[in-house]
Structure 1
């Protein structure tokens, strides 16, 4: 007897019936109960991916992973810390419970795919659901992430909208798509871009190349105002690594030599002081470009 997910995330009763484990051992320190009759081997990293896989096992194929869960499974993570797993069902066959949100909704066959043995809404349908349901900034973040990873133009979501014209939030999807950009390399980079445009600053170019003639290669800027030779960068935690610090110094030197100014911001800046970002970028845009 094959037990789906064994020994990572699995149905306990199936594993016991297959003789893979006893109930006594299953209830011991070697395993963790995630949902009714759904267990994971102890020591696995907790997070939305684990919760989502557990929710799928728990549903026994009666639901399809959707929303943030679908994005997570499809390597386009964009959900907040602690986000519950999400499953969409056609009928009232499951109820929401702690850690799992169950939604009832119609899914066409071409909107469902299989990823590692799990039923999941397609990237396009996932982006449609998140794009119409979330508040504006997080909706754009989700559409950017899915469009980048799965390489589709955000405007394709309009085709899904035609299929569901009366779904809640569809009317504001056009605004979300007008702000989306599949070139954005990360959710924080999208948030940084929206801090600028939300304050009325011009829309920056995304992933702008600055040619380095000496090395015959390009230096890519997260965001840029080419006419002003102004770059805007998001610095994540990886920029604290000593090797990355050296690369950043070299990169900054090459950009400065090419006449570019670069402003760098962190997730803390975006979250706690977006007004300062707007003031600094706005002031830089009033200054003449070097050279």
Structure 2
């Protein structure tokens, strides 16, 4: 468990239980390694909640100097709420890292196992 000082705006209440706001949750998930998993979480969270990338970016700018801040800054341009699965999100990073080249989305999405193998070879564990 990681402790952090939270501003009142970072906490909301659901059914009487205090929980992190969607914005703070996105900020925390995006800073937590590994990078490929963080992107999958961000894609899913923003898609499910309607949180806007610009709002997350504003929060990042207002909260510099936290552990993992470089990671989330680097992920912002790759967030895609149209992503249909975490492996699709991971694929965008593999392309960014120039590990694989994609000729067609259909081809790439049918090779999820290959994506997992490349990630494992790079030292990432799921």
With structure 1 as the length reference, what TM-score do the two structures score?
A: 0.36
Deviation (angstroms), 1:271: 1.0
Residue 155 to residue 135, structure 1, CA distance change in 2 (3 Å): farther
Q: Aligned to 2:52, which of 153, 178, 183?
A: 153
Residue 176 to residue 263, structure 1, CA distance change in 2 (3 Å): closer
Residue 193 to residue 171, structure 1, CA distance change in 2 (3 Å): closer
Alignment partner of 2:82: what SS? Answer: coil
Question: Which residue of 2 is the match for residue 189 of structure 1?
Answer: 88
Residue 269 to residue 117, structure 1, CA distance change in 2 (3 Å): farther
Query: Is the 8 Å Cα contact of residues 148 and 185 (structure 1) preserved in structure 2?
Result: no
Q: Give me the whole-angstrom Cα distance separating, in 2, the residues matched to 1:143 and 1:125.
A: 12
Question: Which residue of 2 is the match for residue 268 of structure 1?
Answer: 113
Query: Is the 8 Å Cα contact of residues 133 and 169 (structure 1) preserved in structure 2?
Result: yes
With structure 2 as the length reference, what TM-score do the two structures score?
A: 0.74
Q: Give me the whole-angstrom Cα distance separating, in 1, the residues matched to 2:55 and 2:116.
A: 30
Question: Which residue of 2 is the match for residue 287 of structure 1?
Answer: none
Query: Is the 8 Å Cα contact of residues 78 and 92 (structure 2) preserved in structure 1?
Result: no
Higher-Rg member (1/2)? 1
Alignment partner of 1:168: what SS? Answer: coil
Give 1 or 2: higher strand fraction.
1
Residue 177 to residue 264, structure 1, CA distance change in 2 (3 Å): closer
Q: Give me the whole-angstrom Cα distance separating, in 2, the residues matched to 1:167 and 1:146.
A: 21
User: How many residues matched?
Assistant: 119
Question: Which residue of 2 is the match for residue 128 of structure 1?
Answer: 27
Q: Give me the whole-angstrom Cα distance separating, in 2, the residues matched to 1:263 and 1:143.
A: 21
Q: Which consecutive aligned stretches of 4+ in structure 1 deviate over 3 angstroms post-superposition?
A: 115-118
